Amino acid sequence: MRRTVSSVARLGLLAACAASAACGTRQPAAEAPGPEPVRVSGETCPSPIASANATITSALGESSSPVVAFDGEEFTLAWWDMRGKFPAISTMRVDRAGAPLTPFASLPHDGVAKEQTIAVDGAETHVVWMDETAVKSARLPAAAESPVKYADRASAAAAGPRGAVAWVERGVLYFRTDAMLLPPDRKGVRAEPQPTQVAAGGIEDPRVAWNGEQFAVVWSASVAGGRQIVMQRLSHAGKRIGGQVKVSDTAGVSRNPEVAAMPGGFAVAWTNDAPQESNKHDYFWIFFARVGEHGDAPAFARQLEFNTTADHVAIAAAGAELGLAWVGSKEPMGSAVFFARLDTDGKPLGAAVRVSDDKPITCGGPSLAFAGDGYGVAWHDDRSQTGSQILFSFLKCGEAGEAEASDAGAPPEPPPAAEPAEPKLKKLFE
């Protein structure tokens, strides 16, 4: 009788195990698919017209170096400003007119917080910055949560979609994404993965882009006699795809690369020190390259037809074109923010547009994002008497027409109420 009861109990236990899948080694749950890239419907942006310059900040003191991203509906800005003892990273979501959609928010920090970058995917907005020598990361809109720290002794860092972070620590370039996270343990905790070592050496200015299939990390690398731009493709799992791509081949100092995903690969823009005798005001050349999803060399790299007063430019990709924003000189003194459309070979489309109005003397730090129906441009300038402030303008797409066939040498189109471009300004596009 005891044997019969034991057999029945055993059979019941086996049945229960089969029904609940709770016996034996616990199998990890299937991973949910990751977020998709933000998709926009616009392929081109003919005849863009700059809206009035909207002031985003108005606090006493300095606000500087904005970055902007489009999340599929509106724009998110991040910048650093002085609102306390140390600079802090601030964020705000704005509409196409630059009107705030969310309250101003300051991200937690321990010391001097600067060098912020921003990235978006279909799930969230990702901000990465340097807090002294620590690399910090926050996911928006849950900014109230404590930032995640990825490194203590870093010199540079950059955000990417899907939780990607690239950073430089003791001369080594590291990379990680959320797809590299290990399955959760019994308490639901997911351990941070071992980052991929991408490269080593004199590395500066890392940037990250994602096209839904692979990541691209670009940086400025030290070489004999100067610096060059290098790119490495990586999979979602952080594995290197192919070898390093030497993007630039111009002698001198190439730095501050910006990268954007485009159909069939990635677009990279950067600056190179120009000889002073070539231009008395715009000291940097601008270069552009297109890199495919395969191969160890760019499809092409070329110098663009205009120079910049600053060593930083911004680039954004639409479906069949790219947008470029930079700072150029103006007469009789000072600088302004300009925008130009490029085809996928880096050739200008139509006339360049002057984005900033006549109020500031100097401008800096442009950032750019494509929204399907236009480009959002953010920058800082000195129009305020209390310090530099953050500005925003939306370049709304127009209708294609005869103006689209205009030569790239045409003078920039000023925004409403701006004075006509000075003759000196034409030299930027000749």
| % pLDDT > 90, the chain | 70
In this predicted model, which residue has the larger pLDDT, 314 or 281?
314
> Span 261-266, mean pLDDT?
95
Q: Check residue 143 and give its pLDDT.
A: 54
Confidence of residue 279 (pLDDT cuts 50, 70, 90): low
Q: Is the predicted pLDDT of residue 17 greater than 80, yes or no?
A: no
Residue 17 φ/ψ, nearest 5 degrees: -65, -40
In this predicted model, which residue has the larger pLDDT, 429 or 280?
280
Rounded to whole angstroms, the Cα distance separating 186 from 26 reads 9
Rounded to whole angstroms, the Cα distance separating 430 from 425 reads 10
Q: Check residue 401 and give its pLDDT.
A: 62
Q: Does domain 37-429 have CATH number 1.20.1370.20?
A: no
Q: Is the predicted pLDDT of residue 418 greater than 50, yes or no?
A: no
For residue range 182-200, list pLDDT tens digits in order.
888 888 787 888 999 999 9
Q: Provide the residue type at 385 as one letter.
A: Q
Q: Is the predicted pLDDT of residue 412 greater than 90, yes or no?
A: no
Q: Is the predicted pLDDT of residue 350 greater than 50, yes or no?
A: yes
Rounded to whole angstroms, the Cα distance separating 176 from 231 reads 16
Q: Check residue 75 and give its pLDDT.
A: 98
Cβ atoms 325, 366 nearer than 8 A: yes
From the list 159, 124, 127, the residue with the least C-alpha distance to 141 is 124
Confidence of residue 145 (pLDDT cuts 50, 70, 90): low
Q: Check residue 144 and give its pLDDT.
A: 53
pLDDT mean across residues, the chain: 86
Q: Is the predicted pLDDT of residue 325 greater than 80, yes or no?
A: yes
Among 10-19, 306-315, 316-325, the range scoring the smallest mean pLDDT is 10-19
Sheet containing strand 348-354, strands side by side: 314-317, 322-329, 335-342, 348-354
> Span 268-280, mean pLDDT?
81
Q: Check residue 221 and give its pLDDT.
A: 97
Confidence of residue 404 (pLDDT cuts 50, 70, 90): low
In this predicted model, which residue has the larger pLDDT, 381 or 61?
381
For residue range 21-33, list pLDDT tens digits in order.
444 444 444 455 7
Among 90-99, 140-149, 245-254, 342-351, the range scoring the smallest mean pLDDT is 140-149
Cis peptide bond prior to 141, omega within 30° of 0: yes
Q: Check residue 278 and give its pLDDT.
A: 63
Q: Is the predicted pLDDT of residue 402 greater than 50, yes or no?
A: no
In this predicted model, which residue has the larger pLDDT, 401 or 424?
401
In this predicted model, which residue has the larger pLDDT, 2 or 108?
108
Locate 310 and state its tokens: 């600053």
